[in-house]
Amino acid sequence: MLIFRDRNALFGIIILFIIISSIIFLPLVYTTPADKIDFTISTMPPSWEHPFGTNDLGQDQLARLLQGGRVSLAVGISAMMVAIFLGTIVGAIAGFYGGVIDGILMRITDIFLSLPQLPLLLLIIYLFRDSTKKIFGAELGVFLLIVVIIGILNWMSVARLVRASFLKLREMEFVSAAKAIGASPIRIILVHLLPNIFSIIIVAATLSVGNAILTESTLSFLGLGFPPDIPTWGRMLFEAKDYIESAPYMALFPGLAIFLTVLSINYIGDGLSN
């Protein structure tokens, strides 16, 4: 595959594979509890017993990093699926039908693009977090709310890419042939057009995952993400902000995890687009 000839993309694949493998398999070997509190080892620097040190509650940072990685990646992938689903539908309808429908959908897209995403995201999370927790529970409620909101606020670029591709493809001969034999618009879109832009959607999906991870980390850093007992990389950064000088490793390792994950995903996306 051409992606393996791209050094940056190959680097991204290797780093992402290491991160995902560590998150999944390392807890089977490193069995230190992530939620065990021991004030006698509070803010302990990295050691053989605690390779990434401990936080202000004496909790093991490596165990929390591994557990938080599962949450952060789950949010990133789930939010990406929401964004890709909405963007593909809007872009496909706009590009295939064109005319008035295209104009209306693109104006809606422009409205969403003009919204200040972070302030709006913070406002929605602040207003609906408590009610969502009551319905679905603390962890699942916040997870669903964050995933849906991030996805709803990040589908626009996907819609524009899909629309532009559909505008080109709908004029080609194989589409005219499909119409001539009586294929329905839904069949033309699903069977004849979408498979031809699958690579574009994959590239957009990889970039959406990185953006969603950063957004979730921002929310957790601002204290509007998951509850304190559920570690995420952003939550770990939030907890470390008061110990930057005395225990810088508390911010170093989760920050490095976010940086390497997003960087590797972006490199993979760039490799797929070439």
Q: For residue 232, is it within any domain?
A: yes
Q: What is the CATH number of the domain that holds 208?
A: 1.10.3720.10
Q: For residue 106, is it within any domain?
A: yes
d(Cα 161, Cα 152) in Å, to the nearest integer? Answer: 16
**Mean pLDDT on 92-113:** 90
pLDDT, position 162: 92
Q: For residue 23, is it within any domain?
A: no
Output DSSP code: residue 54. B
Position 90 confidence tier, pLDDT thresholds 50, 70, 90: very high
pLDDT, position 104: 93
Output DSSP code: residue 3. G
Residue 4 scores a pLDDT above 80: no
Q: For residue 66, is it within any domain?
A: no
Q: For residue 35, is it within any domain?
A: no
Residue 1 scores a pLDDT above 60: no
pLDDT, position 2: 55
Residue 206's nearest CA partner among 150, 274, 262 is 262
Position 159 confidence tier, pLDDT thresholds 50, 70, 90: very high
Residue 136 scores a pLDDT above 70: yes
Q: For residue 2, is it within any domain?
A: no
Q: For residue 61, is it within any domain?
A: no
Residue 61's nearest CA partner among 69, 71, 49, 53 is 53
Q: For residue 29, is it within any domain?
A: no
The tens digit of pLDDT for each residue in 46-72 reads 888 888 988 888 889 999 999 988 988
**Mean pLDDT on 211-226:** 82
Which residues, 6 or more positions from 267, have their beta carbon under 8 angstroms from its beta carbon?
8, 9, 11, 12
pLDDT, position 274: 63
The tens digit of pLDDT for each residue in 256-267 reads 998 999 889 888
DSSP H helices in the chain: 7-29, 61-97, 99-114, 117-136, 138-152, 156-169, 173-180, 185-187, 198-221, 233-240, 249-273
Contact 198, 141 (CB under 8 A): no
- The whole-chain average pLDDT of the chain stands at 86
> Percent of the chain, pLDDT > 70?
98
pLDDT, position 116: 84
Structurally, the chain folds into a number of domains equal to: 1
**Mean pLDDT on 98-120:** 88
Domain containing 119: what range?
75-273
